[in-house]
Amino acid sequence: MAENTRLESLEAELKRLGQCIEEVADEHRAEQARATEAANLNGGDSMNRLAQHSRVKFDLPKFDGSDALGWIFSMDQYFEFFRVQEED
């Protein structure tokens, strides 16, 4: 019975972490959109245009309750790639 409670606790924590990651991803996408809009308004030079075209698109997978370790691995890759700092 205690094992089942622990599993439920872990599932709830994974769900909460998934929601946090979704929020960070949304903020990141919004910041990218603002930066792109600002560059477009400023006319942008060829380097800005090149940087915009060479960006890597990395869609965050939503946690659906299966393959928790694979999902966590994907999140680790995302945070490492975009150099997201851990909050203290």
| Domain residue extents for the chain | 2-81
Share of residues in the chain with pLDDT > 90 (%): 0
Tokens matching residue 45? 């030079």
Q: How many whole angstroms separate alpha carbon 6 and alpha carbon 12?
A: 10
pLDDT digits (tens, 9 = 90+) for 61-71: 788 888 888 88
- The token duo for 63 is 């946690």
Q: How many CA atoms lie within 13 A of 79 on its CB side?
A: 15
Whole-model pTM: value is 0.43
pLDDT digits (tens, 9 = 90+) for 20-41: 888 888 888 888 888 777 777 7
Q: d(Cα 51, Cα 5) in Å, to the nearest integer?
A: 49
